[in-house]
Amino acid sequence: MNLGKNKFADDEEEGNKKKPMGIKKEVKKEDDDKKEEEEVKEGTVTLKPLFTFECDITEGRQVSCIDINIANPDLIAVGYGEYDINIIDDSKLKPGLLCFWTLKNPNFPEKLIVHNSSIICCSFSKKTAHLVAIGDSSGNIAIYNVKSSDTKPIAESKDLEFKHTDIVWDIQWVQRENKGESLISISGDGKIIEWSLRKGLEYTELMQLKRETNPNTKDPYAGAETEKKGGGMTFINTGGLSIDFPQNSEQNIYYFTATEECTIHQCSMSYSEQYLDTYNGHTGPIYKIRCNPFFHREDCPIFLTCSYDWTVKVWNAKQNSGPKLTCHQIETLKEQVNDINWSPMTSSVFASVANDGRIEIWDLKRDVLAPVLTHFDKDAQGNELHIPKTAVRFSRNSPVVLAGSENGKVGVYRTHGLEHVQVSERD
């Protein structure tokens, strides 16, 4: 994301009488930059609101997902959609919106797509940057071409017999050895499906998630691994909420899933009948799981989870005895944590957003007990706003954080003081 300043008109002509004003502005800017640098030197971490992506069309629409284009970091996809699981009739929900925002115009999206159902997740292709995939509340996958003037999807799953039958909560583009790039989805129906665009939209079911005993939950059904059916025994399915692949792994031979039964499973792309490992530690549904981009299979697979149980946990995939670290302040945070995102620039830094409206920045190198920053938006009178935050993303090329809210706004914030050398797993 390029946040470079525009030149003022009074800087264009050498002899212009307004030139001294331009000089004053430059001096003031240099003073501000110097002040910010001094704060960084003192170890102060700050989060400065810059502007907000919002317009009449998105007002009051819940931000469900955010993604940033890998080829053009100034292009931001934002999905809008309600996902109240208590509403059985999907027709009672508003149509979903997919907006493409840029820094050129924070007051209206460059492109807008209206989707039949609420959009729950979105992801830009890593290999073909003009393609973006979405998952919706009706269990559908759709892929759109951002370059096209047509707002219809180039491929979708709604007419396929074996599509998802529940909300698609998460999707990931992955590079498959000898197969090219494919899309992986996870749904409340417990299915994990691989989608390919080589010949239309082809699908392969990778896994059907099964319920396992979780010693950390009091759910009376959590310990029931099987049920009787037709005189035999069958495993009870469980819903999947999030999926991620360790980065920098060329073959992508395994992945992690987060479930509504509060467990995490490590799964193989080659075997669909059993888990490679299972991790317990949460006491509520796990909304998001994200692998650290700096620690992968060859080093140490570290991943992050956030949950309905008010906590964020850090895990080492090599240790299934429990999380390495639980990040929460029970005295102040008593709300579900809706989203998490690792910094792409600093291996020990991540952000989280919660239902009480907070944005928290953690730096595990500096402090494992408390966030280095907790931020609440404020109104004109300086009062804290507690509108639920629903999505968070770090910019890939600038010290910027984006956070979406339940009211349809996406705040853009400038961070200071987070940059430092990378740390190793031993740190």
Instruction: Return the residue matching tokens 């853009």.
Output: 412
Per-position pLDDT tens, the chain of length 427: 444 333 323 333 344 433 333 434 444 545 555 555 554 456 688 999 999 999 999 999 999 999 999 999 999 999 999 866 555 555 566 889 999 999 889 999 999 999 999 999 999 999 999 999 999 999 999 999 999 999 999 999 999 988 999 999 999 999 877 778 999 999 999 999 999 988 888 999 999 999 876 766 655 444 444 444 444 334 688 999 999 998 765 566 889 999 999 999 999 988 888 899 999 999 999 999 999 998 765 557 899 999 999 999 999 998 888 899 998 755 667 899 999 999 999 999 999 999 999 999 999 999 998 999 999 999 999 999 999 999 999 998 889 999 999 999 999 999 998 876 555 544 4
Query: What is the DSSP annotation of 330-374?
Result: TTT--S-EEEEEE-SS-TTEEEEEETTS-EEEEETTT-SSS-SEE
- Per-residue pLDDT at 177: 73
- Per-residue pLDDT at 179: 76
- Per-residue pLDDT at 250: 55
- Per-residue pLDDT at 86: 54
- For 254, the 3-state DSSP assignment is strand
DSSP label of 210:
B
Taking alpha carbons only, the member of 19, 29, 76 closest to residue 391 is 76
Q: Could you state, in order of their start, the residue ranges of all structural domains in the chain? A: 55-68+78-124+131-201
- Per-residue pLDDT at 169: 97
- Per-residue pLDDT at 237: 87
CA distance 343 to 145: 28
Distances (CA, A) of 44 to 37, 47, 386: 10, 10, 24
Q: What is the CATH number that goes with domain 55-68+78-124+131-201?
A: 2.130.10.10
SS3 breakdown of the chain: % helix, strand, coil, rounded to 5?
5, 40, 55
- Per-residue pLDDT at 91: 59
